[in-house]
A and B are shown apart, each in its own frame.
Chain A
Amino acid sequence: MEFMTKFEAVILLNPEISTKVRSDIINSFNDLISDSSGKIVDNEDWGLRDLSYKIENFSKAFYNFFQIEIDGKKIEDIKKTLTQNENFIRHIFVKVDNHQELPTKLNYEKK
């Protein structure tokens, strides 16, 4: 039995990669989720943002936001593969009851 639960994911990527590599990485992330029988409801690109403290000596990072439906047990394996990749600086998965409407407030304020 598979229980599809709703998650939000935020990913920080290495700021020094080119745009082509970056889109490849995001595609690979999409494949990771679709391989583990999940689906991406919506996604959002927050672009290059300043970090409020240095992570791995980077002062900036690419932010990507995803709304996901997936079986919760499979997230552990996804996290494992993300930590092995050097281009992922940081990632977080948050369980939510309902997906909120986009755009998020963070993105909205920037404009």
Chain B
Amino acid sequence: MKKNNKKFKSRGRDENKNSPFEDRRKFCPFSQKNSPKIDYKDIKLLSRYVSEKGKITPSRITNVSRSKQLELSKAIKRSRFLSLMSFTTKSFY
């Protein structure tokens, strides 16, 4: 019985409070109340969602929601076309 109790406890929240994998709430950075608007002219914001080689980072890493990721990728592609952002490198860090 005691062993069973211990096993049950280890799955609880209190024990894993300090571990980095548990209890971290994920949220979309663009669907909050005061979140910034996605715009193809705002290079500094867009370059946060671009890898060092200029690729668009997948939403499973940045936690951007599905609909906002569509907007984001469109905005990045527009600013690439206007040569505001580079295709191959990151302009802002």
Asked if B41 and A104 sit within 8 Å, CB to CB, the answer is yes
The smallest beta-carbon distance between A82 and chain B, in angstroms, is 14
Number of interface residues of B (CB under 8 A): 18
Q: How far is the CA of A55 from the CA of B84 in the complex (A)?
A: 12
Q: Does B44 contact A (CB under 8 A)?
A: yes
The A/B interface has a contact count, at CB < 8 Å, of 38
Q: Does B42 contact A (CB under 8 A)?
A: yes
Number of interface residues of A (CB under 8 A): 16
Q: Does A61 contact B (CB under 8 A)?
A: yes
Q: Does A32 contact B (CB under 8 A)?
A: no
Asked if A106 and B41 sit within 8 Å, CB to CB, the answer is yes
* Residues in chain B near residue A1, CB distance under 8 A: none
Q: Does B91 contact A (CB under 8 A)?
A: yes
